[in-house]
Amino acid sequence: MSITEHELKIKLEDVEDPDLGQDIVTLGLVNDVTIDDETARISLALNAPYAPSEMEVGNRVREVCDEVGLEADLRAHVGEEHGFDDQVLPQVRNVIAVASGKGGVGKTTVAANLAAGLEKRGAMVGILDADIHGPNVPKILPIEGEPGVMPNEDIVPPRSDGVRVISMGFMTEEDDDPAILRGPMVNKFMMKFLEGVEWGRLDYLIVDLPPGTGDATLNLLQSMPVTGAVVVTTPQEMALEDTRKGVQMFNKHDTPVLGVVENMSSFVCPSCDDEHGLFGTEGADEIVDDYDVPLLGRVPIHPDFGADGSKGPIVKDDDSPVQEHIEDLVGKTADKIGAANRQTVSEHTSDEPADALPTETED
């Protein structure tokens, strides 16, 4: 069966984006199609590696090619023509801020497990522990070695099972030494972590923000290209009030809120399996309804998750009953990242004349 590149592109209109509800051609997600012998080389504007939805799109494209007797050679490319040109972190595809309105809700535990979960799926991941006064990421992600220093004085992040980690905790002599820093010094450290770290190529950089809406958080939002934010809360009314402030802060800075995580959502009694809402029930639903943001997941209270971090990331503990909740959270977050990126591509493409579609095919 012989088919032209134009005919193949028309057939790709049958592939619907599972999140945006339109076909990938109309959305402008097909950069280029070429056919060489019996191989279709297709460049897609996808930018969230290992996100379930984008993997689904890739599988559907392969099915379309198979139906017409072609082998699919798929490539992903999103460049400056779609608004993805950045000079601050040029080798980082996605920067994900993890925030909370107040401390003690499990923000760092969620951030560390999100990083470990994405790395477990095969992505290249880094985590920036930007919580200057409470740098606890290294307690959850055991570090292999110490930070290195390049000849130009850039910091080389140590790794935790493949996740590259930078934390203020590396800068203190003892684990319990306080970081007594005023605003200007905090900002100095933050800019060093952003501009003076050799992250290398990353699919995702998770940024564990300080709790609240202070200067450090605002400066970070203004200094780096944030793909979206994950907001962590508990069902308690006081936590929810502060969470609302955080969501509004991101909205004012045009940062997409990928969704809300309700941590400590319930307690399951290990003796009788009864479920108890110790801090209230379904509190995050109010935020979801009021601000039209997704609920990424509810994580129950469990000694494995957030007790002291000594067991490492729960997402890699096959024996933990919490793992399923975190795996689901990681997948949904990756999907929201992909959807936000594809929406950006679609908006930029709709502003271009029909003959100006990009033809770049490099990965």
Q: Which DSSP string corresponds to 29-47?
A: -EEEEEEETTEEEEEE---
Report whether 306 belongs to an annotated binding site.
no
Q: Given the structure tokens 């920067």, which residue do they identify?
A: 95
Architecture of domain 92-321: 3-Layer(aba) Sandwich (3.40)
Report whether 9 belongs to an annotated binding site.
no
The residue ranges of every structural domain in the chain are 5-77+345-356, 92-321
Can you give the pLDDT at residue 102?
Answer: 85
Report whether 107 belongs to an annotated binding site.
yes
C-beta separation of 28 from 52 below 8 A: no
The pair phi, psi for residue 77, each rounded to 5°, is -150, 125
* HEC sequence for 105-157: CCHHHHHHHHHHHHHHCCCCEEEEECCCCCCCHHHHCCCECCCEECCCCCEEC
The helix/strand/coil state of 287 is helix
Cα–Cα distance, 194 to 100 (Å, whole number)? 21
Cα–Cα distance, 263 to 106 (Å, whole number)? 7
Report whether 34 belongs to an annotated binding site.
no
C-beta separation of 169 from 127 below 8 A: no
C-beta separation of 171 from 189 below 8 A: yes
Can you give the pLDDT at residue 269?
Answer: 72
CA angle 114, 300, 336 (to 5 degrees): 35
Report whether 103 belongs to an annotated binding site.
yes
Report whether 120 belongs to an annotated binding site.
no
Whole-structure pTM value: 0.88
CA nearest to 362, candidates 87, 25, 44? 44
Report whether 102 belongs to an annotated binding site.
yes
Report whether 145 belongs to an annotated binding site.
no
| Helices assigned H by DSSP within 196-308 | 215-223, 237-252, 284-291
Q: What is the mean pLDDT, run by run of 10 residues, along the chain of 363 residues?
A: 89 96 96 94 96 97 96 88 71 93 89 96 95 82 86 91 88 51 62 84 94 75 88 88 90 91 82 68 83 92 66 83 92 96 88 46 39
Cα–Cα distance, 223 to 251 (Å, whole number)? 16
Can you give the pLDDT at residue 59?
Answer: 97
**Assigned token pair, 363:** 């990965």
Q: 5-77+345-356 has which fold? A: GMP Synthetase; Chain A, domain 3 (3.30.300)
Cα–Cα distance, 182 to 107 (Å, whole number)? 23
Strand-pairing partners, residue 268, are 275
Cα–Cα distance, 209 to 91 (Å, whole number)? 21
Which residues does 316 contact at the CB level (< 8 Å), separation at least 6? 116, 120, 161
Count of beta carbons in the 10 Å neighbourhood of residue 276: 12
